[in-house]
A and B are shown apart, each in its own frame.
Chain A
Amino acid sequence: MTGGKRKMRRWMMVTAVAATAAGTLLAVAAAEGPASLWWSPGDDRPLPAYVEYADSFGRVGILNTAGAVITDGHPFFEPIGTNGRACVSCHQPADGMSLSVASVQERWQATGGKDPLFAMIDGANCPNLPAGDKASHSLLLSRGLFRVGLPWPPRDERGAPITPEFTIEVVRDPGKCNSGPEYGINGTRHEISVYRRPRVAANLRYVASSRFGSSAFIGKTGMLAAVDPESGRPVNMNMMADARESTLKTQAQSAARTHLQMTQPLSAAQLEQIQSFELQLYGAQSWSTLGGSLNEPDGPSGIGPQAMAKGADGVLGNNTTRFVIPMEDKWARLPPGNTPEEKARNAFRESVQRGHDAFFFRTFWIRDAMHINTVGLGNPIKRTCATCHGMHMTGMDTANGWMDVGTTNKPWALEPPESPWASETPALPLFKITCRADLPPHPFLGRVIYTQDPGRALISGKCEDVGTIVIQQFRGLAARAPYFSNGSAATLRELVDFYDRRFNIKYTEQERTDLVNFLGSL
């Protein structure tokens, strides 16, 4: 974190807003230091009904529709495992219920690497590296990535091994985990380690909704959909990067076992408490440094945490009746303004509106993207960002949302140049996937694929799933850089630039700025 940002955080305003029964918002402001930003497990302070935290674009708002939460004894906030972590460790309110790399670095500095966040099990590049050594935690410190160790070969929901459609080899292993004797693919644990960002634990009413695209068979592949073990009903599989968990409860149970190293399963009461909390929580950008208030009545109906609490889930928004992010052209043509502040505010708001329009209406050719060009639309298709990012209010995919846009697969994944003059070395592992010759090849990448993270394929064993990652939600982005599941875009500008390269969009400089302003206002 830069000195400037530390200073900004030190002097930031934390605003707690309590929602009255009538829905009127009452603001309670208090100046707080950085210590109050980081939520340590067992802090035992209440999480207000509404709270705002400064971020790189202004402020992110976290809204609890059920009112303030008493965190004392709450399983989301207490260190219920053996390593001192809680769910809140990686789902920080100040980071939009995810975790920014700035916060990770701040924690390292504040604790000398002793914070439970850096637990060796997954807060290090590999558990068997030297503890306390900064290099052992380089992926977490540089990109906010946690190790995810997955069994290989994969197992189905009943624990039976799946016969993969491909073999996997380790080509590059900077963390020395995948080629090691214990955690390596051929090691005693038979694991594959990939490195991913924590997902947002807010707005989950949308993320976990099964109102759209949930049937016994996965809409994009025809394979069996995961089911809720309690109800037996199919789920939408949009929660995890690789869709390996079916419900909020199974995710919580799995995370407690792995990330928290809990030795006993969560109780039914604890699971209910975590699920209720996650379904009452909404997070979105609420204030823009340049654009002012983003909430209604100042902003459009689709922006701000209050909008998230009111929106309908399970709705396709890639249409001009519901929209992904409803803007009503509210900021399309604003008066120039009388004061310099007004002029700047209105100019920024118009930029946000243009960014929305670029997101929603600017066509380009989407090509060679698995599970989008292969689902009946053709390859290539002339469409817009909203074709894939079509879920009303979140910008996720409404259908089971894993696809390969190239964030982890070569040739599109970000890789430092291999040259005698390059100082940067590759941070992530690289795997060689060889698909079976007796089956059809991957339609765009053939039978040999190089990838930093095979994504869904590590769960399904399918060649066509290599490098496919479930689309993430758009909310609170300014509070939780970096972006993509592998943290390869350090800023929103880098994120926009990635898509521009990947799909040869040829955005103008103005379009890039507008898109960044739009995304930063969500």
Chain B
Amino acid sequence: MRAAQHVRFAAVALLMPSLLLAAPAPGTRISFVSCPILRDTRSVPCWLSDYQSERYYLTIQSDVSAEVQPPLMGHQVLVEGVVSDAKPICGGVVLSQVHLSAMPEIDANCREELPADDRYTVDFAPRPPGPSGGRLAFTADPSGGGAGPAPRQAPTPATGPQKFDVYFDFDKGVSFRHPSALSSILNAARRGTAKRAVITGVRGAHKLSNGTLLLEAANTGQRRAEEIARLLAGAGLTLPAEVKWTSGEKDADGVDDWKSRRVTVELLP
């Protein structure tokens, strides 16, 4: 009898953390910083992260065309998303509208890699872990990028003000994410009638789910704005440009805070 009671107490004790920290209801926005976890599968690996006793599915490995690109092992990852009621993937609660950003400093604690496990499969991978079938995972370019994107019709030259937002990883400057966005700005300036540009860098700020305000390094907005201005000028932007910077601190509310990590380029008449 006493032994049975012990078993019951133990069972309750085991359940306690999950009772106290039950998974947020579907539709809940969450934002946290944690180590990424990689789980191998027979196909491509999937990426997960633990937060408050819950495991979340972040994304899978695909290729450069993916909207959500996997984190970096050895770095914490800043996760923003909305809890969904989709069937768990790789043992993790699925997040929709997910945005990931590797934190810049190396964290030796972030090295958890799980072996393939028959319980977890990725049968929806758009490309295998090796060569593609001739196209990128998330584009219709049949050449697999071999001949570049298909030619598009030239857009009508803009006559009014134009505004472009360029988004960044946490604390980071220009990277592989930006050639396309920078080219768009350059092309718009060349085609349009703008007489000047205003380039505003924003120091990003995040209201995390635990209430913490996570701020980028103090000079980040300035560094980004100056870098974008230098690159655009170097690539041929001839408009006079006003370069300024600000902080997104006051706007941090836990809703799409990733948008605060940005530079806004305005092309003005």
Contacts and interface: CB of A to CB of B under 8 A. Distances in A.
Contact of A219 (B74, B171, B176, B219): B176
Contact of A360 (B63, B131, B234): B131
Contact of A378 (B69, B132, B234): B69
Nearest to B230: A224
Interface string B48-66: 0000000000000101101
A246 to B, nearest CB: 14
Nearest to B62: A377
Contacts of A223: 174, 231
Interface stretch (B21-29, B178-186, B239-247, B252-260): B178-186
B81 interface: no
Given A223-B174, A224-B234, A378-B70, A216 B183 contact: yes
Given A219-B176, A222-B177, A378 B134 contact: no
Contacts of B183: 215-217
A200 B47 CA distance: 41
A273 B63 CA distance: 41
A443 B104 contact: yes
Given A361-B131, A383-B129, A446-B106, A316 B146 contact: yes
A379 B105 contact: no
* Those 7 A-B pairs whose CB atoms lie nearest each other, nearest first: A378-B70, A321-B134, A440-B104, A217-B179, A222-B174, A222-B178, A376-B69
A299 B178 CA distance: 43
A211 B129 CA distance: 26
B147 interface: yes
Interface residue SS majority, chain B: loop
A185 to B, nearest CB: 27
A232 to B, nearest CB: 9
Given A212-B147, A216-B235, A443-B106, A375 B130 contact: no
Interface stretch (B37-45, B157-165, B194-202): B37-45
Nearest to B170: A440
Interface in B93-125: 102, 104-106, 113
Contacts of B102: 443
A379 B73 contact: yes
B69 A322 contact: no
A268 B113 CA distance: 57
Interface of B: 38, 40, 44-45, 47, 61, 63-64, 66, 69-75, 102, 104-106, 113, 129-135, 143-148, 171-179, 182-183, 186, 217, 219, 231, 234-236
A320 B142 CA distance: 12
Nearest to B169: A440
A446 B108 CA distance: 11
B40 A373 contact: no
A314 interface: yes
A386 interface: yes
Contact of B105 (A320, A363, A441): A441
A365 B235 CA distance: 36
A190 interface: no
Contacts of A13: none
A363 B236 CA distance: 42
Given A319-B131, A361-B131, A386-B130, A376 B174 contact: no
B194 to A, nearest CB: 18
B172 A316 contact: no
A374 B146 contact: no
Nearest to B70: A378
Nearest to A316: B146
A381 B63 CA distance: 10
A316 B61 CA distance: 19
A377 B38 CA distance: 13
Contacts, number: 147
Q: A317, A377, A378 — which one has the most chain B CB atoms within 10 A of its CB?
A: A378
A444 interface: yes
Interface residues of A, number: 48
Contacts of A174: none
A367 B177 contact: no
A376 B186 contact: no
Contacts of A438: 217, 219
A318 interface: yes
A361 to B, nearest CB: 5
B210 to A, nearest CB: 24
Interface in A77-111: none
Contact of B69 (A317, A367, A377, A443): A377
A318 B70 contact: no
Contacts of A375: 64, 176
A319 B133 contact: yes
Nearest to B66: A376
A380 interface: yes
A322 B146 contact: yes
A456 interface: no
B130 A361 contact: yes
A380 B174 contact: no
A215 B186 CA distance: 12
Nearest to A386: B131
A220 interface: yes
A371 to B, nearest CB: 8
24 contacts: A211-B148, A212-B147, A215-B179, A215-B183, A219-B176, A221-B176, A222-B179, A314-B146, A315-B146, A315-B147, A319-B133, A320-B131, A323-B131, A361-B131, A378-B69, A378-B71, A381-B70, A384-B130, A384-B131, A386-B130, A440-B104, A440-B172, A443-B74, A443-B75
B148 A319 contact: no
Q: B146, B148, B174, B235 — which one has the most chain A CB atoms within 10 A of its CB?
A: B146
A384 B129 CA distance: 8
A392 B40 contact: no
Given A222-B179, A321-B133, A441-B104, 7 more contacts: A216-B235, A320-B134, A360-B130, A376-B64, A398-B145, A398-B146, A443-B106
A404 interface: no
Contacts of B131: 318-320, 323, 360-361, 384, 386
Nearest to B236: A216
Contacts of A5: none
A217 B63 contact: no
A495 interface: no
B130 A212 contact: no
Nearest to A323: B131
A219 B149 CA distance: 14
A360 B148 CA distance: 22
Q: A438, A440, A444 — which one has the most chain B CB atoms within 10 A of its CB?
A: A440
Given A217-B231, A374-B176, A316 B144 contact: yes
Contacts of A440: 104-105, 171-173
A392 B72 CA distance: 29
Contacts of B219: 438
A122 interface: no
